[in-house]
Amino acid sequence: MRKQLSKSWLTSLFWLRFLIIILLVIGVFVRFVNIDKKVYWGDEVFSSLRISGYMQSEMNEQLSNGSLLTIKDLSKYQYPNSEKNTIDTIKGIIVEDSQILPLYILMTRFWVQHFGDSVASVRSFSAFTSLFTFPFIYLLCEELFGSSLFGWMAIALVAVSPVEVVYAQEARAYSLWIVAILMSSFAMLRAMRLKTKVSWWIYSATLVVGFYTHIFFALVALAQGIYVITIERFRLNKITIDYLISLFAGFITFVPWLWIIITNPQPQAVAWANAKQTFFGSVERWAGILSRAFLDLGISPSDSGRIKFALLPFVIIIFALIFYSIYILCRSTPKKVWLFVLTLIGSLGLPLFILDFVFQKRYATTRYTLPLTLGIQLAVAYLLTTKLTSISPKVWQRKLWLLVVFMIITSGVISCSLNLQAKIWWNQFPEKYQEYPKIANIISQSNQPLLISDGGIIPSIQMLGHLVDPKVQFQIVKKNSLPEVTNGFTDIFLFNCSDYLKAGIEKIYNSKLQQINNLLWKVTKST
């Protein structure tokens, strides 16, 4: 009986690994397919401005003078060119976006210079970077749990994790941040085990990568410090001293940029987080944050409450799985294992939770809580691996957990499939930008269209520049200014414009305005 059970167990492991390899292939596929089909939205447009080396003030001054502009004129401020170099890129970040750490921008600039300046090329750097999630989460699990089986299960979860696929297809630093978190976590645990100078210097190097990738990595590093000191029982021994030296060496390289942030703050960049929200609004946000690690149907704040209520049973099941995973992890593993996972979860999860529910802020967004998501995935990977590989006489229990694994993987694959077919997803602010593809299509259908605006070039006009046909021309003026009369166009549109401009255009062209939607008007001849 025991021999038959052992043989069945080994056969299950073989099929489990075979399934994970298939999921790994799917995970690579969904990160690259249709990568250029979604709206190149506001945050990505800002990334491209920084990559180009131009400042927003330069762009506004050179483009908002009422002259006729082509797509090529707009693209000048979205991609690297001979007029601006790497120093200009760094200068632009320092002066206008000091809270954005420069590593991702500089690496993407290098990538675009060598692989082209299309939307697909810019986003493909994030997709390529996300592939390093697989080896580093495998190594982390092997170091943390002492077995490669946990690493294989973790790879399966992150391969089709909806939230990680979302950020793998976005021209922002979040995929690089995920890799930096996993890389530094693995390097720290390895250094604690080996106790060698080289391993601690490697950990220090990973800290430098993390510090220059995302501002919130500092909280991850703080959580790692709490973990080391707690495991070493607050004693100043060799491991603690080596850790403190490595932390100091990593942090000292970040001090120059930290000084830049302090002396040149950009509070307007996070002004959105100061908006008050209700208790139920916070609950809704956190439900989305926690569930998107496994299930994501593209639900955004603008969707109806009926749709959100219909998803409530699935959210409850996911919550139950998460909390049961953490419970089993804490009950079944030594302190050095469960404490690491809890500190990773709490590094961003705890302060953002307090900001949301105590101070009624809204900093807790999915992109800021990625360390929380990684910690949850580690806990779930541990739970599923132990349940599937335990030699238990109760066959029904193993079948039950096989069903759980199947449901998790299926929900991830379905979520990724829906994401790949969409034109805009929840992370791209659909309540504000979902009309942009329709607007671009309307304008592009004209033979010789002109688009006039006195709204912001970043992000609105640049977003449209990535969507409209190259034949579209633009005329951008400053607030309380009117453009010169321009002839030779079959259709003239006003986009995101002030009442002053609308009234002036009616007078200039002796025409009336036909409102198409909240952002677009068409100039029609008076009868």
Q: Are residues 480 and 369 in the same domain?
A: no
355 belongs to a structural domain: yes
**Predicted local distance difference test score (pLDDT) of residue 31:** 97
43 belongs to a structural domain: no
Q: Are residues 165 and 242 in the same domain?
A: yes
Distance in angstroms (rounded) separating the CA atoms of residues 472 and 68: 10
% of the chain at pLDDT higher than 70 = 95
The reported pTM is 0.94
322 belongs to a structural domain: yes
Distance in angstroms (rounded) separating the CA atoms of residues 89 and 4: 64
Alpha-carbon distances of 161 from 31, 38, 358, rounded to whole Å:
11, 19, 30
Omega before 80 cis (within 30°)? no
User: What does the pLDDT average to over 152-166?
Assistant: 96
Instruction: List pLDDT tens digits, range 184-207.
Output: 999 999 999 999 999 999 999 999
Distance in angstroms (rounded) separating the CA atoms of residues 222 and 241: 16
Indicate whether 15 pLDDT > 90: no
Of 27, 24, 13, give the one whose Cα is nearest residue 148.
13
Distance in angstroms (rounded) separating the CA atoms of residues 276 and 257: 30
Domain C-terminal end among 393, 428, 463:
428
Distance in angstroms (rounded) separating the CA atoms of residues 78 and 212: 22
**Predicted local distance difference test score (pLDDT) of residue 396:** 75
Partners of 524 in beta bridges? 512
Domain C-terminal end among 412, 428, 444:
428
Residue 360 DSSP SS3: coil
Q: Are residues 398 and 341 in the same domain?
A: yes
Instruction: List pLDDT tens digits, range 210-240.
Output: 999 999 999 999 999 999 999 999 999 999 9
**Predicted local distance difference test score (pLDDT) of residue 13:** 62
Rg (CA), the chain: 26
110 belongs to a structural domain: no
Alpha-carbon distances of 55 from 58, 91, 468, rounded to whole Å:
5, 8, 24
**Predicted local distance difference test score (pLDDT) of residue 1:** 35
Q: Which residue in the block uniquely carries the two structure tokens 């002492």?
A: 146
Indicate whether 155 pLDDT > 70: yes
Q: Rounded to 5 degrees, what are φ and ψ at 300?
A: -120, 170
Question: Which pair of tokens denotes residue 169?
Answer: 């297809």
Instruction: Supply the range of the domain harboring residue 480.
Output: 432-525
Decide: residue 36, CB within 10 A, 0-12 exposed, 13-18 middle, 19+ buried: middle
CB atoms within 10 A of CB 12: 14
Instruction: List pLDDT tens digits, range 83-108.
Output: 999 999 999 999 999 889 999 999 99
Indicate whether 247 pLDDT > 70: yes
Q: Are residues 447 and 384 in the same domain?
A: no
Q: Are residues 467 and 361 in the same domain?
A: no
Specify whether the CB–CB gap between 493 and 523 falls below 8 A: yes
Domain C-terminal end among 398, 428, 458:
428
Top mean-pLDDT range of 268-272, 339-343, 498-502:
339-343
473 belongs to a structural domain: yes
**Predicted local distance difference test score (pLDDT) of residue 392:** 62
Indicate whether 6 pLDDT > 50: no
Q: Are residues 349 and 380 in the same domain?
A: yes
Q: Are residues 424 and 440 in the same domain?
A: no
Q: Are residues 449 and 381 in the same domain?
A: no
42 belongs to a structural domain: no
Q: Give the full edge-to-edge strand order of the sheet including 68-69.
A: 68-69, 473-476, 449-453, 491-495, 520-525, 511-515
Q: Are residues 502 and 399 in the same domain?
A: no
Q: Are residues 419 and 403 in the same domain?
A: yes
Q: Which residue in the block uniquely carries the two structure tokens 């709206």?
A: 39
Instruction: List pLDDT tens digits, range 339-389.
Output: 999 999 999 999 999 988 888 877 888 999 999 999 999 999 999 999 988
Q: Are residues 293 and 440 in the same domain?
A: no
Specify whether the CB–CB gap between 141 and 381 falls below 8 A: yes
54 belongs to a structural domain: no
Q: How many domains does the chain have?
A: 2
**Predicted local distance difference test score (pLDDT) of residue 2:** 41
Q: Are residues 299 and 350 in the same domain?
A: yes
Mean model confidence pLDDT for the chain: 91
53 belongs to a structural domain: no
Question: Which contacts qualify for 336-343: CB closer than 8 Å, 24 or more apart?
Answer: 336/231, 337/144, 337/145, 339/227, 339/230, 339/231, 340/144, 340/185, 340/189, 340/227, 341/144, 341/375, 341/378, 341/379, 342/375, 343/223, 343/224, 343/226, 343/227
Residue 193 DSSP SS3: helix
Partners of 429 in beta bridges? none
User: What does the pLDDT average to over 145-162?
Assistant: 94
